[in-house]
Amino acid sequence: MKTQTIAKQLHALGNPTRLAIYRQLVRAGETGMPVGKVQKALKIPASTLTHHLQRLIGAELVKQERDGNELFCSVNFDKMRTMINFLEEECCADVCDTAMAS
C-alpha cells in the first residue's frame, strides 16, 4: 500500500539529524557527496551517521554509489517528488473551497 511507503519516507525525514543530512544532500544535487564529507559538515559520529543514512536509503530517498575510496550519497529526487505529490494530491477532493490558493 502506498500510504505505508510514503509514511516510511516521511518518518525517515522526521528526525532533525536525518533531515539535516537529507538537506545537505539536496544541496549537493545529483552528484551528491561522500559520507565522510557529510560527517565533517554536520559533525555527526560515523556510526550514528551510517545508521541514519541506512534509514534514508531504506526509504529509498537516498542512494549510494562507490567512487574509488569514497562512497557518494545522493538524493533520489524522483521519490522526493512522488512523496510531495502524495501530500498535495486530492486536496479538497471532498469539499472544494478556498484552500491551497498559492
Please report, as ranges, the residues that interact with DNA according to CB under 7 A.
11, 14-18, 34-36, 39, 44-55, 64, 66, 68-71
Measured CA to CA, the distance from residue 25 to residue 64 in angstroms comes to 11
Which residue number, 70 or 91, has a Cβ lying nearer to DNA? Answer: 70
Site for its own copies in 29-48 (CB under 8 A): 29-31
Phi and psi at 9, nearest 5°, equal -70, -45
Q: Between 25 and 53, name the residue whose CB sits nearer to DNA.
A: 53
Measured between alpha carbons, how far is 36 from 31 in angstroms, rounded to an integer? 15
Chain centre to alpha carbon of residue 92:
26
Which CB atom, from 17 or from 82, has the smaller least distance to DNA? 17
